[in-house]
Amino acid sequence: MHYRTDGERSKPCLVLSNSLGTDLSMWDAQAAALAGDFFVVRYDTRGHGQSASGSAPFGIDRLGLDVVALLDHLDIARAAFCGISMGGLTGQWLGIHQPQRLTQLVLANTAARIGGAAPWQLRAEQVRRDGMAAVAGSAAARWFTPQFIERAPDTVARLVGTLRGQDAGGYAACCDMLAQADLHGCVGMIAVPTLIIAGEHDPVTTVDDARWLQQQIACARLASLPASHISNIEAADLFTAQLRTFLV
């Protein structure tokens, strides 16, 4: 697993988990802003960036256990965890199955189930057959509002370029995982203090999805940002402010 740390080891630990098709660089703004107060650990999710996926299929439990293994490797007993989209599913699994490793939990632009099985299976088949270019062309419209695409074309191009450069097999394996991952029946078990962040214009994981999570998790509060699916980039300052207020 490829990871990077920022900040002093003596500070409280904050783990950042990326979305499908991105890598740990998506957290550059948050890492830079928070490294003075936290030991920031960010990593490439299995099958993304410089982290291998392995040859066997895996489920959301494997992604959660990867985080546990990373914390063990760094000799960190407990950490705050912030995951966006797919990373938010990983966070939910941790909150359900490994709450003793968490101090706080931030679930951004995510849902207990992201989409349906058939579309994810089709996307996995598509990238295995045609490569990452098959999905890269339409990614910006899923990730960002038209206004942000116009306002920050270089940022959008960088994120889409990262998607194009992903390993098709690793990306497809995560699509297969998303086709199966459904935590509707157990998110109510989460008892860790939780912040849920939604994008007001997110077509992938909607504000209604976020409200449902808030209703299930007794210790959760909800923040809504003027952004689409990758809200930590589109509304970076507001996202970081929410993190700081919740975690400090």
Contacts of residue 201, defined as CB under 8 A and 6 or more positions apart, other chains included, come to 145, 226, 227, 228
The pLDDT of residue 152 is 98
pLDDT band at 54 (very low <50, low <70, confident <90, very high): confident
Instruction: Map out the domains of the chain as residue ranges.
Output: 3-114+183-247
Average pLDDT, the chain: 97
pLDDT digits (tens, 9 = 90+) for 144-154: 999 999 999 99
Instruction: Report the pLDDT averaged over residues 40-69.
Output: 94
Domain 3-114+183-247 coded CATH 3.30.470.10: no
CA distance 247 to 14: 9
Place of tokens 């509707």: 184
Give, for 222, the enclosing helix (H) or strand (E). strand 220-225
CA distance 7 to 247: 16
CA distance 108 to 25: 17
pLDDT digits (tens, 9 = 90+) for 4-30: 999 999 999 999 999 999 999 999 999
pLDDT score of 208 more than 90:
yes
CA distance 243 to 248: 8
pLDDT score of 56 more than 90:
no
In sequence order, what E strands does 30-84 have?
39-43, 79-84
pLDDT score of 97 more than 80:
yes
* DSSP tag of 43: E
pLDDT band at 55 (very low <50, low <70, confident <90, very high): confident
The pLDDT of residue 73 is 98
| % residues pLDDT > 70 (the chain) | 100
Question: Dihedral (C-alpha) 192, 117, 177, 124: value to the nearest 10 degrees?
Answer: -140
In sequence order, what E strands does 7-73 have?
13-17, 39-43
The answer to whether residues 48 and 22 touch, using CB atoms and an 8 Å cutoff, is: yes
Give the residue among 113, 107, 111 at the shortest CA–CA distance from 197.
Answer: 107
pLDDT band at 53 (very low <50, low <70, confident <90, very high): confident
